[in-house]
Amino acid sequence: MLKTDVLIIGSGIAGLSTGIKLAMLRPDLKIDVLTKVNEHESNTSYAQGGVAAVWDHGTDTYEKHIADTLDAGAGLCDEHIVRIVVEEGPERVEEIIDWGTRFDLDQFQKYDLGREGGHSENRILHYKDLTGWEIQRALSAKAATLDNLIVHEHYFALDLLTQHHLGHIVTRLTENIECYGAYVLNKENWEISTIVARNTVLAAGGNGQIYRSTTNPVIATGDGIAMAYRAKVHLENMEFVQFHPTALYNPGLEKQAFLVSEAVRGFGAILKRPDGTEFMQEYDERGSLAPRDIVARAIDNEMKLTGAEFMCLDCTHLDKEKFIAHFPTIYEKCKEKGIDPMKDLIPVTPACHYMCGGVQVDEFGRSSVNQLYACGECTSTGLHGANRLASNSLLEALVFGHRIAHSIASNIDNSDLENQIPQWERTGTTEPKEQVLITQSIKELKEVMSSYVGIVRSDKRLKRAKDRLALLHDETEELYRNSLVSPQLCELRNLITVGYLVSKAASLRKESRGLHFTTDYPERADFVQYSVL
């Protein structure tokens, strides 16, 4: 049994910003951060666009940013939370600048503010088209300077510890469920440790790998949300999956689609059909700068109407020198694929990008389970509602990381370690002899989710998805019971759990709102409904 004061599961912007701030507030606390791969591999590292914050008070205001966020969220945002994030956000961005984060400057040595779909003003701070990578770099460097903060690489969190592990019956109706830490697999020596902590922070990132095409890295397998669900933590709004409208079209089966940032459209690129005609004005007066849900559905509809496998992004009228300066990675990737953005239309298709729902938390990141906090993409804070406004997610992670750190610093002295947790039971299990059972089940899951629970849904499609997922679940649970634990098997379990939760939440919402569109209920309902699971 390993003991720590605070266990943080995940080393992206949410986990590291929480850990850094807490380590600075309470040098007396021992803080351990786990990542299942290496410290730099997270969804954060692949965030191209930037971080939204009101910076130029001469043209922009908090009220404009709040209004843009509420408009994108389609009536499901919590305005109190939106105001907290927007108003506290700039100070949090100042902090990461102080910690070494670089953002692009213009010719006057002022921040070069970009604009993306749904924003009424230029307010996106960015570092070329590698903003997430730059923030991850700076946070990792800052974390390395703190003696009481340790990042452990190649540790896979298996399950959160609660009273269930003490032999008690725990259901979703049980009051005062407590979190005591987690069971963790060391991927280098295959030992399973029991880590008990006075407080635990879930910052395990996204779930994009439930779909065939996603901009998320291969590690985004929904581990945090699946663990929370098994621990009877309250979840909400799982049906709202954001598909980025413009991933680079690649007919191959890459596990991670290449993202063509929304900032490219903010820079002036125009969405067109393969024949060169524009189409976005037919769907929204904002054209190519409409919010992501509208653009993704428009592209999906155009592909179905025309039979095309992709739509196109026209950058040929843009200044080449400035384009390459702003988007060097995108330019090089296109050239690698034989596409010259200055001469050719860039073929794009929607791809799963971001989960707006997740672990239900309050304004201090507290979940429904005592001593368990959550931060980042695995949460539902009330900021995004039914559709995330571009570049708000990095801001959300910074603001809630700060708030969680202050909450833990003030309250952790009231928490004790639970020393009676039993070790992980490994008897009676064997090595899985056929890896194909795992890999094929993942392929089936991705096909089911992409075909039936994608950008456009229906009751019939959702029922078929749930029926197929139930079969996959039963097969995987039998394999899990009879096999030694492996990251691949656990990721499969987690992916199936998240796929089921998205499908179930989607079937409960009898309307179309934000990112959830169903042909059976194409109109938005007059009442506001939160889908709590």
* Residues involved in catalysis: 292
Pairwise CA distance, residues 375 & 18, whole Å: 8
- Are 378 and 401 spatial neighbours (Cβ–Cβ below 8 Å)? no
Residue 392: closest CA among 382, 406, 402? 382
Q: Is the dihedral of CA 364, 366, 152, 38 positive or negative?
A: negative
Q: Are strands 372-374 and 192-202 parallel, antiparallel or unpaired?
A: parallel
**How far is Cα 266 from Cα 263, in angstroms, rounded to an integer?**
5
- Residue 498 contacts residue 222 (beta carbons within 8 Å): yes
Distance of alpha carbon 211 from alpha carbon 495, whole angstroms: 10
Q: How far is the C-alpha of 122 from the C-alpha of 58, rounded, in Å?
A: 12
Give the β-pairing of 149-153 and 31-35.
parallel
Angle at the Cα of 227 (from 225 to 231), degrees rounded to 5?
Answer: 115
180 in helix, strand or coil? coil
- Pull the structure tokens for residue 73: 């969220």
Provide the strand spans (E) within 128-249: 149-153, 155-161, 181-186, 192-202, 235-236, 241-248
Which of 77, 84, 78, 93 is closest to 62 using CA atoms? 84
Place of tokens 């692009």: 104
- Check if the beta carbon of residue 500 is closer than 8 Å to that of residue 227: no
Cβ atoms 322, 185 nearer than 8 A: no
Closest by Cα among 502, 296, 503, 518 to 388: 296
CB atoms within 10 A of CB 216: 27
Residue type present at position 380:
S
| Residue matched to tokens 């202050």 | 406
**Assign residue 318 a region: left if phi > 0, alpha if psi is -120 to 50, beta otherwise?**
beta
Alpha-helical regions (H) of 219-290 = 223-230, 262-266
Q: Residue 481: which H helix or E strand, with range? A: helix 459-481
Q: Are 376 and 388 in contact (CB under 8 A)?
A: no
Q: Are 364 and 403 in contact (CB under 8 A)?
A: yes
Q: 476 vs 158, 470, 481, 492, 499, CA distance in Å?
A: 15, 10, 9, 8, 14
Q: Which residue has the tokens 């006057």?
A: 108
